[in-house]
Amino acid sequence: MLFGNLEVTKTLLTEIDKLVRLIESPIFAYLRLELLKVPADECLVRALYGLLMLLPQTEAFQILQTRLSCIPSLHLHCDKRNQTEIKPIPARMSNIDFPKLLESFKRAQENHKEYKKAMR
């Protein structure tokens, strides 16, 4: 829930807008196709819905909302039994040090806060 603790600024919203437009570009077609798999990657779907909730109702909001409405409804109402199963980490992610990435994110956010304080 660290992302939810961020200050939502014009700069952050602009970056999310750029991200949504990038996701809609041809280079990320494979990512959009991942949303069609039932069940789709739950983390991806949750991340995209999280971005949607942060956006004001702009063109980027409409684009992302339309994209998310294309996700098969079967995924959104998955069987409860599937939610309790522990899923193995995909091979492509097995060598990622997630705790280290989280610490790096926290440090970057603290540095950003300190920089903003110093600029006032």
**Is 90 exceeded by the pLDDT of residue 27?**
yes
The residue ranking higher by pLDDT, 65 or 96, is 65
**Is 50 exceeded by the pLDDT of residue 25?**
yes
pLDDT, position 14: 93
Q: How far apart are CA 76 and CA 42, in angstroms?
A: 9
Number of H helices, E strands in the chain: 7, 0
For the chain, give the longest Cα–Cα distance. 52
Q: What is the pLDDT of residues 3-18, one digit of tens each?
A: 667 778 898 899 999 9
Answer whether 0.85 is exceeded by the pTM.
Answer: no
pLDDT, position 89: 66
